[in-house]
């Protein structure tokens, strides 16, 4: 098993935010990125670390359809550690990542987000859907 993947899994089980931060920052996910999809998706669900934006960006780069459901879920989720004015601070990044994945299922999830009950999330989704028309 990949040493980095093993370290990520150990940090996940131990809820070691510091190790996760270091691993996310120092790992080149462009090589064998798909082998990290499961742990990255699991980490995205957790609130004990603060690397959500980075993980969404990594998933965007990997473009693996296995990340579609979690990106959709996270776009609708609030995280307490954000200080910004946005209620759904990861929505824009998740919608962009879904658009980059670009499968029919990913586009469908963006369409669902265009009807979400937050106006900002709707705007992000509609903007991405409009890009498909160009």
Residue 88 backbone phi and psi in degrees, to 5: -125, 75
Domain 3-133: CATH class, spelled out: mainly alpha
pTM above 0.95, yes or no: no
pLDDT, tens digit, 9 for 90 and up, residues 51-104:
999 999 999 999 999 999 999 999 998 876 665 666 777 899 999 999 999 999
How far, in Å, CA of 122 to CA of 114, rounded?
4
């Amino acid at each position: 098993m990949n040493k980095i993947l093993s370290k990520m899994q150990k940090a996940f089980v131990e809820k070691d935010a510091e190790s996760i931060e270091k691993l996310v920052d120092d790992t080149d996910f462009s090589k064998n990125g798909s082998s990290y999809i499961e742990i990255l998706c699991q980490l995205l669900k957790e609130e004990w670390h603060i690397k959500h934006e980075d993980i969404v960006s990594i998933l965007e780069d990997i473009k693996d359809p296995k990340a579609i459901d979690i990106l959709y879920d996270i776009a609708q989720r609030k995280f307490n550690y954000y200080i910004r004015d946005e209620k759904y601070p990861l929505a824009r990044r998740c919608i962009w990542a879904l658009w980059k994945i670009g499968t029919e299922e990913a586009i469908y999830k963006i369409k669902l987000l265009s009807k979400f009950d937050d106006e900002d999330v709707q705007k992000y989704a509609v903007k991405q859907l409009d890009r498909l028309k160009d």
